[in-house]
Amino acid sequence: MEKPIRLGLIGCGGIVQNTHARAYRALTDTVQVTALADIVPENLQKVGEQFNVPPENRYVDYREMLEHASIDAVTIATPHSFHAEQVVEAANAGVAIISEKPMATTLEEADNILAAVHRNSVPYTVVHNYLFNAGMRAAMTELDALGASHFGRSVGMGLKPTDFSADHPTPAFAWRASKARGGGCIIDTSYHEIYSVCALMRSPVRYVEARVQTLRFDIDVDDIAMLLCEHENGGITTVSGAWCVPATDFGWCEMHAENGSLRVRHRVNVADALRRFTRADGWKQLELPEFNETEQKDASGHVRYFTETFNALAAGAPLPVDPKRPYHNLAIIEAARKATTERRAIEILLP
């Protein structure tokens, strides 16, 4: 048996403790958490105890971990504003990199990331976990039969707590609502809705009109985002996201094509994940018996994402989320902000 990938964690906060950890525990033959870096001592202790990481392999400074720990790969799960710097440092250290979304806060930072990754010839990918939940995975197998897409919608509404202060019991609320930390509704929440509907449309976005604004909360970033996108194939999609609207259905996306339609619900169990419409049958809930018990519980898609990513790393194969996807997602977000300021459609230049 091949030795497990030795993994260092840069950032050990809530998403690692509550979500990523499920994947690492399910992949003990493939990956072993051997080193940690976090500026919060409680996070180091909690995750260190979860994975039996000895105290000498727990670092406050991630650079020290990159210099001294014996690791093959890192995951980066820190506030958005740190991603670019940490990815570049990890690339220079010669390790494979799995970064939480977004890849960066600006396209300039993203360009620096891609240059560092290319210069050091290291594998690099970004977590697009919704593509790996049961509904989206099954939906992708239906696309060929449905033909050319012409319209899509994606919605992610929610009502955040009104307290975004730095001393909130959940610190992530504070940094996600901070411009300095790269926060905001569109780059934190609507990010998922953008890449999900783009995957179903199977065509990149060329033009973006939008209103990305702060309507409800006393914060310096947006709490609502409304996008109208034109795709290269001529299709149209809308993306709606908010922190200030009570959700009746947490998050979903749909695609309409010449031979039918699909509607995917995120973060639900398999039985409610996917509906298909045809003129002959109308809307029907699709049964997805091919997903095992573990996958049925993986509503966020993280376990499957990490499974495919670590398996690809172990085999030296291409990673399942190519960096072009998160780069395009960030380009759409930047265009939406610019469209809001300039009150016009913004063109996205494709490679």
Please check whether residues 98 and 140 belong to one and the same domain: no
pLDDT at 166 over 70: no
Quote the CA–CA distance of 178 and 158 in Å, as a whole number. 18
Instruction: For residue 267, give both structure tokens.
Output: 């973060």
CA dihedral sign of residues 83, 190, 332, 318: positive
CA–CA distances in Å: residue 303 to residues 21, 23, 27, 272? 9, 4, 9, 19
pTM: 0.94
Please check whether residues 120 and 173 belong to one and the same domain: no
**Mean pLDDT, range 300-322, rounded to an integer:** 95
pLDDT at 295 over 80: no
- What's the one-letter identity of residue 309? T
4-13, 247-256, 276-285: which has the minimum mean pLDDT? 247-256
User: How much of the chain exceeds pLDDT 90, in percent?
Assistant: 83
Please check whether residues 191 and 111 belong to one and the same domain: no
Quote the CA–CA distance of 65 and 58 in Å, as a whole number. 8
67-76, 182-191, 243-252: which has the minimum mean pLDDT? 243-252
Q: Of the candidates 126, 158, 189, which is a domain's last residue?
A: 126
Write b or e for each residue in 23-39: b if 16 or more Cβ atoms lie within 10 A of its Cβ, otherwise e: bbebbeebbbbbbbbbe
pLDDT digits (tens, 9 = 90+) for 41-69: 999 999 999 999 999 999 999 999 999 99
Please check whether residues 335 and 301 belong to one and the same domain: yes
> What distance, in Å, lies between the first and last C-alpha atoms of the chain?
41
**Mean pLDDT, range 280-303, rounded to an integer:** 82
Q: What is the CATH number of the domain that holds 118?
A: 3.40.50.720
**Mean pLDDT, range 23-40, rounded to an integer:** 95
Please check whether residues 215 and 230 belong to one and the same domain: yes
Residue 70: count other Cβ atoms within 10 Å of its Cβ.
Answer: 9
Quote the CA–CA distance of 71 and 324 in Å, as a whole number. 26
Quote the CA–CA distance of 286 and 134 in Å, as a whole number. 11
Mean pLDDT of the chain: 93
CA–CA distances in Å: residue 102 to residues 21, 62, 339? 20, 19, 20
CA 146 to chain centre: 26
Please check whether residues 119 and 159 belong to one and the same domain: no
pLDDT at 289 over 50: yes
User: How much of the chain exceeds pLDDT 70, in percent?
Assistant: 95
Quote the CA–CA distance of 84 and 105 in Å, as a whole number. 8
DSSP string, 280-292: TTEEEEPP-TTS-
**Mean pLDDT, range 322-341, rounded to an integer:** 98
Please check whether residues 58 and 137 belong to one and the same domain: no
Per-residue pLDDT, 267: 82
Q: Of the candidates 111, 126, 141, which is a domain's last residue?
A: 126
Q: What is the CATH number of the domain that holds 214?
A: 3.30.360.10
**Mean pLDDT, range 231-246, rounded to an integer:** 96
Please check whether residues 185 and 303 belong to one and the same domain: yes
Q: Of the candidates 126, 149, 169, which is a domain's last residue?
A: 126
Give how many domains the chain has, as a whole number: 2
pLDDT at 1 over 60: no
pLDDT digits (tens, 9 = 90+) for 63-94: 999 999 999 999 999 999 999 999 999 999 99
Helix (H) or strand (E) holding 313: helix 302-315
Residue 293: count other Cβ atoms within 10 Å of its Cβ.
Answer: 8
Q: Residue 52's domain spans which residues?
A: 5-126
* Angle, alpha carbons 337-176-39 (nearest 5°): 135
23-37, 265-279, 308-322: which has the minimum mean pLDDT? 265-279
Per-residue pLDDT, 2: 76
Please check whether residues 19 and 70 belong to one and the same domain: yes
pLDDT at 293 over 60: no
Please check whether residues 200 and 216 belong to one and the same domain: yes
